[in-house]
Structure 1
């Protein structure tokens, strides 16, 4: 039986709001908090960002267990517990002056985000909404795509007016007062399993185990594609302004180009999610990787002051936006709909571990080469590599 329209919109609306808040407070906020914490506590940027990287690694190790719990019908409790844990850890962060405690807090926040970010929400939708999940996933990514747009200016004002500690307490209040409540009330209980009538024995369907995908070369090619693209997106998000400045662009031009990426991502997600009849998911995936390669092929040839920097931002932003949809919706088509949450966790685990080291690796490349040229070459190689891996993946994956 398909879920009712009211239930569909209830869970999609709830998860759209909670993803907006979770990403805004547990991901984007960190960039604004680095400077005041460094100034007040005397901890270096390296030490602060190291804790953030550890959170990515922590979330990677919790990704598979969280996915399994959601597959078994515990999505409501997993996501509610994640919001409660996040709120408690944020309160502890607001009052701590100990760096070891700060590191432990971020290890815990990594576990919380594994239950709150896209993979968990998409798994809940897939379990409860079936085929309707596709449209719901698109809506969630559209709303959550504005997390930086909403929370960067909001938190900036709060930090200026009340200080970073009180701002973190506000973040905690949002997580427990809105996210935990919406997760508890908006996510349906596990779908009831049909019971046999009378005493008629109905044979249980054969168990399907998520580890079956580990024997498929197509699965590992899909993981490689996501590792390469995840490395690019994480490293570039930290280093893009310095890259533009290194190539001779003014700060105003660099900021304008960077600001364009977010809206383009949202627009690309909208067109991808609601225009699936015009192009298959596999075709959209090829276009996603091709746009990324084209962006980094173009960037080294853009002269300082040229408007073509906006073309790079549009290509790069569109690729990033489309990738979110492809990563969420293509695995069921390639590997089957069973154990969606666990399989997404198995994909996310190596991707997040690699992403954790991307900003440091890009910085090391810059220091070794003396400019960002080596970083741009590496991004182009990874983008082309992701395109080749994705096309091989499609060639090897079973036909639907």
Structure 2
């Protein structure tokens, strides 16, 4: 397919739909299923979130081979296979009665998500759309940003009507009947392997990477992303139980959760249009400040108050903006050379921390007997990321 041909919009629209469904069913849905599974199966929140954390670790393990297969022209088969595998694992999950089996299902789910989440979709676009990939990636990100808004209320209704097992079977049907079909028939077949440029095989200048690793600004930037990554991964899994514990009804909790997606998308729009009015460094400060403000506000919101929507909006906006900051700020801080290697060095500890976040929050809840300690920890991490980011700006001015 030519990057300028008529096919890109077909691919972009199809991947926008599949990412919306994949994130809604394979990531956000877990938060709604914790409570009914805990009641029916007797497994603790800690045990349930441990399996979810293992999926995150598993997805990191499969990310490199999945990316290599897509680079070699097998994107259609990788993403189609990922959706089929996800559907199969969802069916197994719907009938599970064994905790070891549940853990194995989620380890396998890590492989499936590595083949259908953002990284895989973006790699397919980069291979097939050329210069149009950036526009396609933006559209997919904005559409998929509504995954929680669409699927949390929808699955809430389905769980009420058909139970948690029935809702999982419905999710399996969506992954097989929509995602797998769109991947199979919308992603262009690329049987020929793309030409490998000699530059792709060139070794990276070690001296430049050593310079970056020796720069305290780099480690402060890693710290801000670790702290924000823990919050952004741990909170979605526990947010419904947190609000129920604080006295909100399930309907109110679902409504608040549904605000996160639009807030995230709106923040990305404003960030994109506001780059000329506010520098990336200013956007970074605003991101960390919004996150801290959200967790400063939450403990003072009484049960039943509409202010819970304000918390969800602030939290969602910070989540949307951190993605932009993480992707675009490093070239300003460390230069444009070795961008991929630097991003990899940032991503590695961040992914490890994110993988442990849902389990850690569940364990902290079990240890303290409430979510107060979790919220206090999130406030501390949000404030810590703000302080670290301010230090980044101060140190960057001196270099």
- Normalising by structure 1, what TM-score? 0.78
Q: What residue is the counterpart of 1:150 in the other structure?
A: 150
Q: Would you say the 8 A contact 1:134–1:329 is kept in 2?
A: no
Q: What residue is the counterpart of 2:315 in the other structure?
A: 316
Does residue 60 of structure 2 align to residue 66 of structure 1? no
Find the aligned partners of 1:155 and 1:230 in 2 and give their Cα distance.
25
Q: Would you say the 8 A contact 2:17–2:143 is kept in 1?
A: yes
Question: What is the CA deviation profile of residues 246-274 of structure 1, one whole-angstrom value per residue up to 9, with x for unaligned ones?
Answer: 87888887666554333212211222245
Question: What is the CA deviation profile of residues 354-384 of structure 1, one whole-angstrom value per residue up to 9, with x for unaligned ones?
Answer: 2233244345556667776654443333223
Find the aligned partners of 1:305 and 1:169 in 2 and give their Cα distance.
33
Q: What residue is the counterpart of 1:205 in the other structure?
A: 199
Structure 1 pair 253/184, CA: closer, same or farther in 2 (3 Å)? closer
Structure 1 pair 133/206, CA: closer, same or farther in 2 (3 Å)? closer
Q: Would you say the 8 A contact 1:14–1:186 is kept in 2?
A: yes
For residues 100-111 of structure 1, the aligned pairs below 5 Å read 100-111=100-111
Q: What residue is the counterpart of 2:269 in the other structure?
A: 270
Find the aligned partners of 1:395 and 1:4 in 2 and give their Cα distance.
44
The alpha-carbon deviation at position 52 of structure 1 amounts to: 1.7
Q: Would you say the 8 A contact 1:268–1:321 is kept in 2?
A: yes
For residues 211-250 of structure 1, the aligned pairs below 5 Å read 215=210, 216-217=212-213, 220-240=219-239
Residue 6 of structure 1 aligns to a residue in which SS? coil
Find the aligned partners of 1:339 and 1:76 in 2 and give their Cα distance.
27
Aligned-CA RMSD value: 4.1
Residue 198 of structure 2 aligns to a residue in which SS? coil
Find the aligned partners of 1:285 and 1:135 in 2 and give their Cα distance.
23
Find the aligned partners of 2:21 and 2:205 in 1 and give their Cα distance.
33
Question: What is the CA deviation profile of residues 310-359 of structure 1, one whole-angstrom value per residue up to 9, with x for unaligned ones?
Answer: 5444332211111233345556776759895x876665443333223324
Residue 201 of structure 2 aligns to a residue in which SS? coil
Q: Would you say the 8 A contact 1:20–1:146 is kept in 2?
A: yes
Q: Would you say the 8 A contact 2:49–2:358 is kept in 1?
A: no
Find the aligned partners of 2:203 and 2:394 in 1 and give their Cα distance.
24
Q: What residue is the counterpart of 1:199 in the other structure?
A: none
Structure 1 pair 354/172, CA: closer, same or farther in 2 (3 Å)? same
Unaligned runs of 5+ in 2: none
Find the aligned partners of 1:12 and 1:393 in 2 and give their Cα distance.
36
Q: Would you say the 8 A contact 2:31–2:239 is kept in 1?
A: no
Q: What residue is the counterpart of 2:174 in the other structure?
A: 174
For residues 333-352 of structure 1, the aligned pairs below 5 Å read 347-352=346-351
Deviates more, 1:262-271 or 1:123-132: 123-132
- Normalising by structure 2, what TM-score? 0.78
The alpha-carbon deviation at position 210 of structure 1 amounts to: 7.7
Aligned pairs, number: 390
The alpha-carbon deviation at position 206 of structure 1 amounts to: 5.9
